[in-house]
Amino acid sequence: MSDTRRNHLPEGFWSAVEVWVKKPHVVNKRLCGATETESRDVDSGDLRKLLDSNEEEEEELLQDVFQFLGSGVSPAHTHQKGKPWSSRVRTFIPKVNCYDSDRQHVTFLPFEEDSAAGRVSLKKCNIYQLRLCSKDCEALELHVLTLDGWFSDGVAYPKLPWLSSDLLPKLVRWAAECKSSEFKSTLSLLPVEKYSLTYQQLKEKYKSMVKVWPEVTNPEKFVYEDVAIATYLLVLWAEERAVKSVTDSQSFVDLGCGNGLLVHILTNEGHPGRGIDVRRRRIWDMYGPQTELEEKAITPSESFLFPGTDWLIGNHSDELTPWIPVIAASKTWKSNKYLGLCTNKNIQIAL
């Protein structure tokens, strides 16, 4: 299986692989993300320890794996040259992979842990490899150890046709773009497992808002977008309280709160705060008196410094956005260390 396109040089290939390894959720929508728990160089002995068996059937499988990893080069010959494999272990409830960094390919070896038996076993039917054939032909290929018995659960183990028709073209595009950023992704600042669990809980809790949405805007887009932003802030704030060893929930003001749903969710989840917008929305009347929303124009001045507030949020603040750092830097603030800006789904944290 292959997909060919210009410009994905070896650097682009590894850039694309990094996306699939670290952020599988951007293409596999049934995943929230992945966490890397281990990164080290390994050799054939390490792989044997992972299998933890001397059975003849698994010994034959191990030889097949070595041949697949080496693409025709014997493991012993490879390691005599001092070129061990680079192995990364990631968890997306649950799965691990083996990462080959010398030749231009990466091999995924799925292991499953039997907690009762206290051992790890290789899921031999789902071994696959992504391979950059050569710099000249510029071909990216998908190889599998065996086509027979491929197992798919639709989440951690995708269907084989999906790897070819969906994943491979994405990797080719990412490789061609080969973009790197000096900034960390926002989700990398949080424990992904906590974010995923909290998001599912809030989504279930507030999904009824979609059915009663009185605004002309798309209810699914705005409800689930604000659920995601609220999830991010709630997990981030919980981590902040743990670091500072405090129990009081952070207070907030949402400038340009729009429909006010983010304020409603954060308030319901125990954070004192309010939202301000230049125009009242019909949905405001549905929230009840516990959700504090004000119809008011905000003019950057000493009258709008919000002393004693922990966080400022600019979810839909538009032209007010550049003024939020100025307001947050005011000496009248109880704490000006953190500033939350939520603009076009991207949450930035300014120190």
26 and 139 share one domain = yes
Task: Let me know whether 169 and 195 are in one domain.
Answer: no
What's the per-residue H, E or C state across 12-43?
HHHHHHHHHHHCHHHCCCCCCCCEEEEEEEEC
More confidently predicted of 57 and 202:
202
- Domain range holding 273? 186-350
Which pLDDT score is estimated for 244?
92
Average pLDDT for residues 181-195, to the nearest whole number? 74
Statement to judge: residues 246 and 154 lie in one domain: no
pLDDT reported for residue 102: 47
223 domain residue, yes or no: yes
Which residue is listed with tokens 């001045």? 301
Across the range 334-341, mean pLDDT stands at: 46
- pLDDT at residue 264 in the model: 96
Q: How confident is the model at residue 113 (pLDDT cuts 50, 70, 90)?
A: confident
73, part of any domain: no
| Whether residue 152 is found in the same domain as residue 120 | yes
Q: Are 92 and 192 contained in the same domain?
A: no
Q: What is the mean pLDDT of residues 192-196?
A: 86
Task: Say whether both 112 and 208 belong to one domain.
Answer: no
Task: Give how many domains the chain has, as a whole number.
Answer: 2
Contact residues for 138 (Cβ-Cβ < 8 A; gap 6+): 4, 5, 6, 7, 8
Within this chain, do residues 154 and 199 fall inside the same structural domain, yes or no?
A: no
The CATH number assigned to the domain holding 326 equals 3.40.50.720
Q: Is 266 helix (H, G, I), strand (E, B) or coil?
A: helix
pLDDT above 60 for 345 = no
Tell me: do 105 and 209 sit in the same domain: no
Residue holding tokens 């792989």? Answer: 47
35 pairs with which residues across the strands? 91
Local confidence band at 347 (pLDDT 50, 70, 90 cut-offs)? very low
